[in-house]
């Protein structure tokens, strides 16, 4: 069209589209759930605006918040239409082509290594998956603030945008028209689409309908023209069967025939049930898993590690579903301190408000996915005002509690986690195989978050410390917990011993451990850089203090000879002290921490450990 303005895709987007177009990826089905998910997002947005301004919804059909799918078999077009917020001309240009999202290049990279397109939605580029099945796409859109526009592209590096003067006015919303590739003919089958919507979009909270055919048999008068029903499109498919009918009086009745007709009508494909409103007892494991997939846009077949579905009552009422994902997302700790990525969706009385509310969960729990629906929060206020609502604090507190409970249960139900003494009871109860090793898996994915929690969340520090896992001189390569460590503590041992360093192998050779090991004490290995910070916050646990064995102050039981030795070597220690530069060495003492090594340099109680020095140096260099 001559009036069309032409644009080039941003370079990364263009590369992404090339990859999609040329992909041999067999699961092309994913495009439909991505487009439906976009439609649902757009509907959420207009419904949210309507809370404070009813007029934005418009009148008649335009006000219906729904998604409609239509097929044109002859032209091989599949269209998906929503009455969501729509896109202005500028939105079309920016959102569908010229502004690359942060996930774009990450996704391109991922595609080059693994090729699993299934994750596309998580990277924020789901729209482009439509090019798996279409070689030409038109996006027709009407936003309240602008005229109706058409975006179109053949994925050849460029796209065009024109004011729409030829299509039927949409009222408001977006219609995506996919001109299907020859090999994507299966998406013109109604049964295929019904199946896909049921499978992937079951939890979309708006009605999704398909313009579906239905065979009906009707009797029509013979003489008359085959006039079509005004409401529905019909096509005659069967030959007429004429019947001569006479009534009892012998009068001739009007001749009729039976015809089979194909009529089209909107068929609702989903039942718009909100899973979180149902009683947890009624929801099956499979439903929770599917709901997780739709919430997280993680459509790999993996089950979430755990979930918690509860109903909070009292001053602040809300329902929530929380999930521990099967895997940490690719960028979980990448920008931990400057991103505010919240993963909970907030609803107020069934209306989606936002998924960017970082007031709902602290940062260290941002790996959780889920949803909160509150009846207590007000509906008709701005997001900013809601963000300051006093109930949010209560909600947050309860969510943290429930989240930590859920994680604790993961450990409690894991047979690998159970201390030998308690093992028998649990084995009797059976059904432990599936849970075996699940906490180690959790720990490997999200352990760092628990450590960050200990640092950041003083109120829950003890609860979080219970979830901590580490290796020790006695754990035999396995993970163990503070509770187990304390159970194994020697008689007379007051402190929990630990040592920090860059690896277990390095630490095992440390002279600081010699005597402790010889005497049968257990020492925790902390080998993650974050552990140094962690131990500045974790001062005690269950009345036990922590002692870094490379620092001053180590007390290993009672040593009867200490006084004697101190006296005997008085002169030598004096001589040493006098000869070592006092800037570098504070003191020289007789030690009871060594076995074979003659002497060792110890850090002062409040100074940085050698490992901390190493970490700080690597950060400033
Ligand atoms: P994401 O949905 O993760 O943002 P997509 O690639 O699926 O990424 O979509 C890109 C953007 O295009 C969306 O963020 C939205 O702004 C816009 N968009 C896509 N589909 C629609 C639609 N049906 N209605 C309104 N906006 C849409
Ligand atoms: Mg999307």
143 C-alpha to ligand 1 centroid (Å):
13
Is residue 312 predicted with pLDDT exceeding 90?
yes
Is 558's pLDDT higher than 80? no
Given pLDDT bands bounded at 50, 70 and 90, which one contains residue 602?
confident
Any residues with CB less than 8 A from the CB of 444 and at least 6 apart, and which? none
Per residue in 140-199, pLDDT (tens digit) is: 999 999 999 999 999 999 999 999 999 999 999 999 999 999 999 999 999 999 999 988
Q: What is the pLDDT of residue 268?
A: 94
- Residue of 12, 41, 47 to test ligand 1 pocket, by largest number of atoms within 8 Å of CB: 41
Helix (H, G, I), strand (E, B) or coil at 203: coil
Q: Helix (H, G, I), strand (E, B), or coil: what is residue 156?
A: coil
3-class SS of residue 465: helix
Do the beta carbons of residue 139 and residue 179 sit within 8 Å? no
User: Is the pLDDT assigned to residue 241 strictly greater than 60?
Assistant: no
Average model confidence (pLDDT) across the chain: 87
Residue 485 contacts by C-beta under 8 Å, 6 or more apart in sequence?
472, 496, 522, 524
Residues whose CB is less than 8 angstroms from the CB of residue 297 and which lie 6 or more positions away in sequence, other chains included = 37, 121, 122, 126
pLDDT value at 200 more than 90: no
> Which amino acid residue places its CA nearest to atom 14 of ligand 1?
95
Residue with tokens 């996930």: 103
- Structure tokens given for 383: 């997001």
pLDDT band at residue 621 under the 50/70/90 scheme: very low
Does pLDDT of 568 surpass 90? no
Residue 429: phi and psi, rounded to 5, are: -70, -10
C-alpha to C-alpha distance for 446 and 367, rounded to whole angstroms: 8
ipTM of this complex: 0.99
Give the residue, by CA position, lying nearest to ligand 1 atom 17.
Answer: 95
Between 232 and 271, the higher pLDDT residue: 271
Report the pLDDT value the prediction gives residue 27, as an integer from 0 to 100: 85
pLDDT of residue 335: 64
SS3 assignment, position 349: coil
Range from 43-47, 86-90, 344-348, 403-407 carrying the lowest mean pLDDT: 344-348
Instruction: Considering every ligand atom shown, identify the ligand nearest to the alpha carbon of residue 42 and give its number.
Output: 1
User: Residue 178: which H helix or E strand, with range?
Assistant: strand 173-180
Strand-strand pairing, 158-163 and 173-180: unpaired
Show the tokens assigned to 515. 């005597």
Rounded Cα distance between 527 and 516, Å, is 19
Choose among 16, 240, 39: nearest CA to 129.
16
pLDDT range class, residue 466, cuts 50, 70, 90: very high
Run of H or E residues at 525 = strand 523-526
Closest CA to 360 of 408, 403, 326: 403
Whether residue 207 is predicted with pLDDT greater than 80 in this model: the reply is yes
Ligand nearest to the CA of 103: 1
Give the ligand 1 atom nearest the CA of 37: 2
Angle at 126 between CA 275 and CA 13, to 5 degrees: 160
User: 348-352, 418-422, 526-530: which range is least confident on average?
Assistant: 418-422
* Cα(564)–Cα(559) distance, integer angstroms: 10
Confidence of residue 581 (pLDDT cuts 50, 70, 90): low
- Between strands 523-526 and 496-500, the pairing is parallel
Give the model's pLDDT for residue 395. Answer: 95
Q: What is the pLDDT of residue 373?
A: 94
- The alpha carbon of residue 140 and the mean position of all alpha carbons in its chain are separated, in whole angstroms, by 30
Q: What is the mean pLDDT of residues 210-226?
A: 82
Residues having CB within 6 Å of any atom of ligand 1: 34, 38-39, 41-42, 82, 84-85, 87, 95-96, 124-127, 174
- Based on its alpha-carbon atoms, the radius of gyration of the chain, rounded to whole angstroms, reads 34
Cα-to-centroid distance, 120 and ligand 2 (Å):
9
Highest-confidence range of 184-198, 499-513, 554-568, by mean pLDDT? 184-198
What do you get for the CA distance between the two ends of the chain, in Å?
Answer: 58
Q: What local confidence, expressed as pLDDT, does residue 163 receive?
A: 97
pLDDT grade for 453, boundaries at 50, 70 and 90: very high
**95 C-alpha to center of ligand 1: Å?**
7
Nearest-angstrom CA–CA distance, 443 and 118: 25
Secondary element (H or E) of residue 312: strand 306-312
Supply the DSSP symbol for 534: H
Question: Are the CB atoms for 75 and 35 separated by under 8 Å?
Answer: no
DSSP state of 246: B
Supply φ then ψ for residue 199, to 5 degrees.
Answer: -75, -45
**Predicted pLDDT at 306:** 96
d(CA 342, CA 331): 13
Torsion of CA 538, 544, 548, 549, to 10 degrees: -170
Q: Point out the ligand nearest to the CA of residue 40.
A: 1
Q: Which residues contact 621 (CB under 8 A, 6 or more apart)?
A: none
Q: How many residues does the chain have?
A: 621
The answer to whether 125 and 144 are in contact (CB under 8 A) is no
Dist. CA 481–CA 524, nearest whole Å: 10
Residue 173, both tokens: 């919303």
Cα-flanking dihedrals φ and ψ of residue 78, to 5°? -115, 125
pLDDT in tens, 97-144: 999 888 898 889 888 877 778 888 888 899 999 999 999 999 999 999
- Find all residues with CB under 8 Å of 455, minimum gap 6, and list them: 530, 533, 534, 537
What whole-number distance in Å separates Cα of residue 37 and Cα of residue 41?
A: 6
Q: What are phi and psi of 147, to 5 degrees?
A: -80, 180
pLDDT(224) > 70: no
CB 368 within 8 A of CB 402: no
Residue bearing the CA closest to ligand 1, atom 4? 124
Q: Which of 408, 331, 342 is nearest to 372 (CA)?
A: 342
Q: Going by CA atoms, what residue is nearest to atom 13 of ligand 1?
A: 95
With contact defined as beta carbons under 8 Å apart, do 524 and 512 qualify?
no
* 501 within 8 A of 493, measured Cβ to Cβ: no
pLDDT at 583 over 70: no
Which residue intervals of 284-382 are DSSP H helices? 285-296
Residue 300 has a pLDDT of 77
The confidence band for 329, taking pLDDT boundaries of 50, 70 and 90, is confident
Alpha carbon distance 472, 526 (integer Å) = 9
Atom of ligand 1 nearest to the CA of 297: 3
* pLDDT higher than threshold 60 for residue 432: no
- Looking at the chain, the whole-number percentage of residues with pLDDT higher than 70 is 89
């Amino acid at each position: 069209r001559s009036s069309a303005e032409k644009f080039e895709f941003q370079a990364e987007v263009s590369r992404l589209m090339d990859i999609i177009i040329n992909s041999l990826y067999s699961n092309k089905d994913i495009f439909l759930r991505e487009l439906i998910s976009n439609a649902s997002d757009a509907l959420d947005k207009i419904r949210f605006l309507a809370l404070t301004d009813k007029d934005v919804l418009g009148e008649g059909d335009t006000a219906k918040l729904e998604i409609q799918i239509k097929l044109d078999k002859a032209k091989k077009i599949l269209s998906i239409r929503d009455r969501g917020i729509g896109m202005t001309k500028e939105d079309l240009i920016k959102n569908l082509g010229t502004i690359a999202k942060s996930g774009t290049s990450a996704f391109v990279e991922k595609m080059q290594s693994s090729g699993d397109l299934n994750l596309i939605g998580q990277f924020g580029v789901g729209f482009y998956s439509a090019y798996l099945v279409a070689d030409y796409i038109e996006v027709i859109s009407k936003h309240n603030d602008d005229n109706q526009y058409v975006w179109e592209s053949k994925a050849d590096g460029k796209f065009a945008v024109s004011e729409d003067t030829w299509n039927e006015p949409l009222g408001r919303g977006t219609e995506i028209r996919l001109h299907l590739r020859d090999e994507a003919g299966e998406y013109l089958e109604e049964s295929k689409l019904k199946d896909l919507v049921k499978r992937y979009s079951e939890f979309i909270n708006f009605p999704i309908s398909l313009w579906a055919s239905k065979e009906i048999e009707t009797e029509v008068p013979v003489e008359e023209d085959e006039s079509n029903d005004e409401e529905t499109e019909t096509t005659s498919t069967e030959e007429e069967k004429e019947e001569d009918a006479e009534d009892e009086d012998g009068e001739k009745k009007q001749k009729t025939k039976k015809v089979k007709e194909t009529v089209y009508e909107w068929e609702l494909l989903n039942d718009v049930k909100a899973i979180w409103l149902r009683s947890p007892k009624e929801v099956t494991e499979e439903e929770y898993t599917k709901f997780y997939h739709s919430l997280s846009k993680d459509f790999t077949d993996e089950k979430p590690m755990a979930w918690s579905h509860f109903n909070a009552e009292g001053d602040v009422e809300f329902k929530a579903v929380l999930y521990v994902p099967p895997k940490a997302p690719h960028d979980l700790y990448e920008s931990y301190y400057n991103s505010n990525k919240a993963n909970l969706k907030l609803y107020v009385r069934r209306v989606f408000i936002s998924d960017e509310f970082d007031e709902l969960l602290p940062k260290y729990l941002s790996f959780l996915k889920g949803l909160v629906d509150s009846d207590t929060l007000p509906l008709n206020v701005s997001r900013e005002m809601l963000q300051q609502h006093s109930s949010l604090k209560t909600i947050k507190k309860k969510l943290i509690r429930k989240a930590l409970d859920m994680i604790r249960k993961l450990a409690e139900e894991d047979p690998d986690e159970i201390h030998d003494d308690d093992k028998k009871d649990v084995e009797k109860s059976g059904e432990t195989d599936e849970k075996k090793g699940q906490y180690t898996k959790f720990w490997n994915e999200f352990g760092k978050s628990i450590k960050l929690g200990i640092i950041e969340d003083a109120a829950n520090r003890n609860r979080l410390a219970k979830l901590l896992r580490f290796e020790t001189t006695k754990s035999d390569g396995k993970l163990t917990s503070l509770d187990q460590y304390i159970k194994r503590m020697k008689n007379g041992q007051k402190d929990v011993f630990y040592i920090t360093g860059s690896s277990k192998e390095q630490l095992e050779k440390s002279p600081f451990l010699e005597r402790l090991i010889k005497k049968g004490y257990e020492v925790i290995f902390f080998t993650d850089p974050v552990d140094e910070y962690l131990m500045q916050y974790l001062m005690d646990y269950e009345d036990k203090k922590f002692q870094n064995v490379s620092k001053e102050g180590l007390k290993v039981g009672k040593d009867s000879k200490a006084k004697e030795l101190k006296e005997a070597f008085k002169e030598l220690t004096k001589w040493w002290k006098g000869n070592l530069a006092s800037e570098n060495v504070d003191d020289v003492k007789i030690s009871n921490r060594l076995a074979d090594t003659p002497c060792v340099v110890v850090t002062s109680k409040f100074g940085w450990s050698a490992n901390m020095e190493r970490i700080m140096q690597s950060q400033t260099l």
